[in-house]
Structure 1
Amino acid sequence: MMHFGPIHKLIVFSLLFLACSPSQVDEKPSKVIVFIADGAGVEQWTLAHFANANLAVGQMPVAGLMDTRGSNHEVSASGPTATAIATGTRSFIGAVGVGPDSLPRESLLEIAHRQDWGTGLITTTSITDATPASFAAHVPSRTQRIEILKQMIDLPVNVLLGGGSRMMQVIESQDLIEIQTLIEDRYTYTEDLLELKMLSQDSTANNILGLFSPGEMAMALQGRSPSLAEMTAAGIDILERHPNGFFLLIENEGSDTYAHRNLGRDVLTAEMLHFDEAIRIALSYQEKHPETLVVVTSDHETGGISLRGDEDRNIVMEYATTSHTAALVPLFAKGPGADRLGGLKRNDQVGKILASLMDFSSD
Structure 2
Amino acid sequence: MNGKRVALTATAVAALAAVPVSQTQAEQRARPKTAKYVIVLQGDGMGTAQRDLIRLVTVGNRPGKELHMNRLEHAGLVHTDPADPKQAVTDSAAAATAFATGVKTFNGAIGVDAQGKPVRTLLEDARRMGKATGLVTTSQVTDATPAAYAAHVSDRAQQSEIARQFLEQSKPDVILGGGEDYWYPAGTEGGWPDHPATDPSEASKGDKGNLVEKAKGLGYTYVSTRDALRKARGPKLLGLFANEELFEHREEGKGDLYDPAVPLPEMASKALSVLSRDRDGFFVLIEEEGIDEMAHENNAGLMIKAGAALDATVKVAVDFARSHPGTLIVVQGDHETGGLTIENPDTADESGEELSKEDGPFTVKGTQLQVFADWTTGQHTGADTPITASGPGSEAFDGVIDNTDVHDAIKRVMR
Alignment match of 2:282 (pick from 230, 246, 251): 246
SS of alignment partner, residue 120 of structure 1: strand
User: Match for residue 108 of structure 2?
Assistant: 94
User: Match for residue 359 of structure 2?
Assistant: none
Q: Does 1:274 align with 2:280?
A: no
SS of alignment partner, residue 17 of structure 2: helix
Q: 1:172: Cα distance to partner?
A: 7.2
Task: Indicate if the aligned counterparts of 2:163 and 2:183 stay in contact, CA closer than 8 A.
Answer: no
Task: Indicate if the aligned counterparts of 1:7 and 1:46 stay in contact, CA closer than 8 A.
Answer: no
Q: 1:171: Cα distance to partner?
A: 6.8
2:165 & 2:329 partners in 1: Cα distance? 26
Change (3 A) 1:7 1:198: farther
User: Match for residue 130 of structure 1?
Assistant: 144
Q: 1:178: Cα distance to partner?
A: 7.8
Task: Indicate if the aligned counterparts of 1:39 and 1:302 stay in contact, CA closer than 8 A.
Answer: yes
Alignment match of 2:180 (pick from 165, 185, 199): 165
Q: 1:145: Cα distance to partner?
A: 0.8
Give the AA of the match of 1:209: L
Instruction: Give the 5 Å matches for 1:155-304.
Output: 155-170=170-185, 173=188, 176-177=208-209, 179=211, 182-186=214-218, 187-199=220-232, 202=233, 205-218=234-247, 222-263=258-299, 265-304=300-339
Q: Does 1:343 align with 2:355?
A: no
User: Match for residue 380 of structure 2?
Assistant: 324
Change (3 A) 1:180 1:165: closer
SS of alignment partner, residue 90 of structure 1: coil
2:125 & 2:55 partners in 1: Cα distance? 35
1:282 & 1:166 partners in 2: Cα distance? 30
Q: TM-score, normalised by structure 2?
A: 0.78
Query: Per-residue displacement from partner, 1:11-63 (whole Å, max 9, x unpaired)?
Result: 5x77xx9xxx9799981101100011010111111111112133211320101
Alignment match of 1:63 (pick from 37, 56, 75): 75
> Which sections of structure 2, spanning at least 5 residues, go unmatched?
1-9, 60-64, 189-205, 249-255, 348-368
User: Match for residue 132 of structure 2?
Assistant: 118
Greater Rg, structure 1 or structure 2?
2
Change (3 A) 1:35 1:299: same
Alignment match of 1:108 (pick from 122, 129, 138): 122
2:46 & 2:227 partners in 1: Cα distance? 30
Task: Indicate if the aligned counterparts of 1:308 and 1:315 stay in contact, CA closer than 8 A.
Answer: yes
1:331 & 1:306 partners in 2: Cα distance? 19
1:132 & 1:35 partners in 2: Cα distance? 11
SS of alignment partner, residue 149 of structure 2: coil
SS of alignment partner, residue 150 of structure 2: coil
Give the AA of the match of 1:327: A
Task: Indicate if the aligned counterparts of 1:124 and 1:217 stay in contact, CA closer than 8 A.
Answer: yes
1:171 & 1:330 partners in 2: Cα distance? 41
Change (3 A) 1:171 1:113: farther
Q: 1:198: Cα distance to partner?
A: 1.4
1:222 & 1:24 partners in 2: Cα distance? 43
SS of alignment partner, residue 404 of structure 2: helix
SS of alignment partner, residue 135 of structure 1: helix
User: Match for residue 352 of structure 1?
Assistant: 408
1:177 & 1:267 partners in 2: Cα distance? 35
Aligned residue pairs total 347
Q: 1:7: Cα distance to partner?
A: 6.0
SS of alignment partner, residue 183 of structure 2: helix
Change (3 A) 1:161 1:332: same
Q: TM-score, normalised by structure 1?
A: 0.89
User: Match for residue 50 of structure 1?
Assistant: 56
2:110 & 2:16 partners in 1: Cα distance? 34
Task: Indicate if the aligned counterparts of 1:24 and 1:336 stay in contact, CA closer than 8 A.
Answer: no
Give the AA of the match of 1:277: A
Change (3 A) 1:180 1:57: closer
> Which sections of structure 1, spanning at least 5 residues, go unmatched?
none
Task: Indicate if the aligned counterparts of 1:290 and 1:336 stay in contact, CA closer than 8 A.
Answer: no
Task: Indicate if the aligned counterparts of 1:171 and 1:180 stay in contact, CA closer than 8 A.
Answer: no
1:237 & 1:58 partners in 2: Cα distance? 24
Give the AA of the match of 1:37: G
| Percent of matched pairs sharing the same residue | 32
Give the AA of the match of 2:373: M
Give the AA of the match of 1:58: N
**Runs of 4+ with deviation above 3 angstroms:** 3-7, 21-26, 171-182, 219-222, 311-314
